[in-house]
Amino acid sequence: MAILALVAITLGLFLLSLVPALLEIVQKRDTAPLPIAVDFDTHPERFATSFRATVARHLGGDPRLVVPSLVRDDQYLHGSGFHIVDRSGRPRFDVKELATQSTRKMLLSGVTLYLPNGFTFEQEVFGIADICSGACSILRAVFCARELRLAAGSKVMRWAHAMYIDIGEHCEIHGRASAEKVIIIHPGATFKRLNAPRIAFGDIQGAGDVFVTDSLKLPAAAAGEALLNKIPLPEGDNRIIVDGDLHIPAGGHVVGDVIAYGNLHLGHSARIVGSIKTHKNLLMAARASIEGAAVAVNDVVVGADAFIRGPVIAERAIRLCRGSRIGTLDAQTSAVAPVISAEPGASAFGTLWAREHGTALNHSASAT
Amino acid sequence: MSVVFSWDDSLGEGRAPLARASGAGVGGNDRAPPERRTSRLPQRYVGLIWLMSCCEPALAAEVSHKAHGPVITAMLACVCGITLVLAVYCIRHYVFTLNRLFAAQRHPYIDVDTADWPTLTVFIAAHNEEAVIKDALTALLNADYPRSKLQITPVNDRSTDNTEVIVDQFVARYPLRLLPFHRRSGKPGKAAALKDAMAYVHSEVIIVFDADYVPSRGLLKQLVAPLFDPEVGAVMGRVVPCNADTNLLTRLLDLERSGGYQVDQQARMNLGLVPQYGGTVGSVRVSALQCVGGWHDDVLAEDTDLTYRLLLAGWKIAYQNRSECYEEVPEAWAVRVKQIMRWTKGHNQVLVRHGRKIISNPFLTPMEKADAILLLGVYAVAPLVIIGWVLSIGLYFFDALPFGSGILVAFAFFAYSTVGNFAAFFEIAAAVRMDRNRGRIRLLPLNFLGFLTSVVSISRATLNQLFWDRWSKGGLQWDKTVRYRKAT
């Protein structure tokens, strides 16, 4: 009897662990497949496009055509849920909003919109003309059909989209900012994701077109010594794999994809016609160029006036020195890293995506 | 308990023992009293026993008492070796899970959204796929990829149903976007079909989907982005079961897939080890494929084979955990058994072909080499587990297990291997939590059923491969996976 009892207890304890499983089989509380967004894509203007479509749906037509007819001498609440700003372009607030310096109104403007300083806009702002934010204002999201000027200290929490975006000093872009033409970002501003045909740090003058160094092009043999410790590859594989650090001397010229298991250093005006991958750091001296992608397990430093066709991928940080360029107007690309910093005069064509922190450096922080 | 050492293996001749422990007398009869068993130890073991007796006299006494010669020693050594192998895999799985839970995660390529995208050919492997191919084609036509650089090629491999008709209907509607490949003869199997289709590929990258897959809009760019890295030869995304809610088997497979992708593959990506290209929901660089000899149609696991050929040639595999796509998992145990048997044979083929080359390869770090070998050895572990069980039972009945009570050792071994290497359960549980599912974790103990089935199936497949397939035609036989989705 004792043995039977022992067996029964043991069996019971064993089965006890299966009770939750048996209950789950019967009740089927968590059976759905892992959700996958079938329509998901990584398009930078996704939110802006969606919002514009929403506005168009509520207004019953293209906002650029409908909104001008809605503007009156007074601000009012439209049936779509938007507050239509009056002809002055300056939104009006009630006493409570003025006291709290924040509003939950969704603003829609048909004229140039001037937002007050220090105000928080908890809902989206839509303008078919220019939008000028006040200093230190906080915007949840803003869609502007023309030029968006974010005054110093402003913050965008989710997204901003415009034809042109001017991000003032010490602004903070916490989500994404996308422009159809140009983004200019001034020193001290921080960002996460920027997308535009041209992104200029400092001023538009620095956002020139494609730049390729063509001075001092030594023959390939000049770089040959640097490739002495390359690993032999199978027939047909045109890559160059170097076990250890690789230094391409000034003016050196390499054709083909290059992989270095150590650091990769490109001297002044050195050129790689191909893509590169380094298992450590990529350091580009002034006027060096990479006519392809650049991938680094650690950091990428793009020297003054240096160029990378792109994409640029670093698993730690990217630093763009003054005059450096990523991508071209005709071949826009991406530069992605947890941390991106750029000096005035640097520019990019396409996307800059800093997963953790992106900074427009001041002159005083310039390394070179 | 008294012990009698004997240098002589002919006690039956009536010669007196040469030494005796205290308290023991020499009996006059030929048969030793029950408590005084003689031990026939070869000389070389006596030294070991003496050494043990210095450290642990009771242990030494027990071993010598119970030892029955080299057979037992060999069995013990095997059990220890098997336990060591299982311990290595256990540690490996724990490392992976802890890495996923606490270490930095690597997704270096996921944010590339703007680029000069390379030319791309998307293959849809289809053999009698009338029920599902329409959904795959519709999804790919809706994909976010530059149209001028995208070619969609359904590979209709000797279908006898309406697959060809459906494909041609789509081609008629989208003539510039679809370029079908109708294969009406040739060697059976997906690899052979892809091999033939490659002759018509002029793009830089190919992506392969099975016909039951429904890729999301952004998936193609996500699978191509890592190929901007000149070291990457192939990319693997994550497959997610879409029929997880069908029955217990699909729910268990859903858990296994979670563990395998969410933890195992991603951890290997984090640690710079060897993520595996899975043959679907993945991209391949055409130049890399050509460098390593193209598709091989003489292997059952062409994806694993390609993974290792690329690795050995200095290419890497990138894993994109956020590049997800639905797939169907088997809904019947018989189908599951067939699937895993095919995977086993394929893996073992790759192990034999490429295992030795890994050791001396100049492109792999020591950790990569170790992981590559462990990855290939995954399907060899199951037969070892069964052998370990058998040996442990044998040792128990021989009463030859050291370190105290034999039952304890056997229990330890069984507890370890019967639970299927607890670390695997930990891996699955962590994966499910990371997927933000909660209720399905309750099914975790039932994964024992799946593991047991796998152990038996894998062992059976290995035995067949070693002894039976050579003389039968059961070697390279592709069994098409059953489709469950109805035509929409």
For A106-123, what is each residue's pLDDT tens digit? 999 999 999 999 999 999
In angstroms, the Cα distances linking B475 to A355, B335, B442, B454 are 50, 18, 39, 19
Percent of chain B at pLDDT > 90 equals: 46
SS3 A136: coil
User: How far is B245 from chain A, CA to nearest CA, in Å?
Assistant: 5
Contact across the interface for A231 and B314, Cβ inside 8 Å: yes
Q: Which among B114, B221, B326 has the least Cβ separation from residue A333? A: B114
User: How far is A240 from chain B, CA to nearest CA, in Å?
Assistant: 10
Which chain A residue has the Cα nearest residue B438?
A30
Q: Assess contact for A82 and A60: CB atoms under 8 A.
A: no
Q: Which amino acid is at B48?
A: L
In angstroms, the Cα distances linking B279 to B276, B305, B315 are 9, 10, 16
| pLDDT digit string (tens) for chain A, length 368 residues | 899 999 999 989 888 888 999 899 998 888 888 888 877 777 888 888 889 899 888 888 888 888 888 888 888 888 778 888 888 889 998 899 999 999 998 999 999 999 999 999 999 999 999 999 999 999 999 999 999 999 999 999 999 999 999 999 999 999 999 999 999 999 999 999 999 999 999 865 544 443 333 333 333 444 445 555 678 787 778 899 998 999 999 999 999 999 999 999 999 999 999 999 999 999 999 999 999 999 999 999 999 999 999 899 999 999 999 999 999 999 999 999 999 999 999 999 999 999 999 999 987 444 44
Which chain A residue has the Cα nearest residue B111?
A336
Asked if A231 reaches chain B (Cβ–Cβ under 8 Å), the answer is yes
More confident residue, B37 or A65: A65
Residue B39, pLDDT > 70, answer: no
Interface of A with B in 154-213 (CB under 8 A): 195
pLDDT of A251: 92
* Cα(A310)–Cα(A325) distance, integer angstroms: 10
ipTM higher than the 0.85 cut: yes
Least confident of A154-168, B65-79, B110-124: B65-79
Q: Assess contact for B153 and B239: CB atoms under 8 A.
A: no
Mean pLDDT, rounded, of chain B: 81
Residue B44, pLDDT > 60, answer: no
Asked if A257 reaches chain B (Cβ–Cβ under 8 Å), the answer is yes
DSSP letter assigned to residue A206: G
More confident residue, B71 or B227: B227
Q: Assess contact for A100 and A81: CB atoms under 8 A.
A: no
* Cα(B172)–Cα(B176) distance, integer angstroms: 9
Per-residue pLDDT tens for A271-315?
999 999 999 999 999 999 999 999 999 999 999 999 999 899 999
pLDDT band at B23 (very low <50, low <70, confident <90, very high): very low
Other beta carbons less than 10 A from residue A20's beta carbon: 15
pLDDT band at B413 (very low <50, low <70, confident <90, very high): low
* Cα(B53)–Cα(B55) distance, integer angstroms: 5
* Cα(B53)–Cα(B66) distance, integer angstroms: 14
Strand partners, A307: A289, A325
Mutation target among A31, A192, A193 for the B interface, most CBs of B within 10 A? A31
Most confident of A233-237, B111-115, B174-178, B346-350: B111-115
pLDDT of B414: 57
Residue B31, pLDDT > 80, answer: no
* Cα(A170)–Cα(A203) distance, integer angstroms: 15
Strand pairing class (A120-127; A106-109): parallel
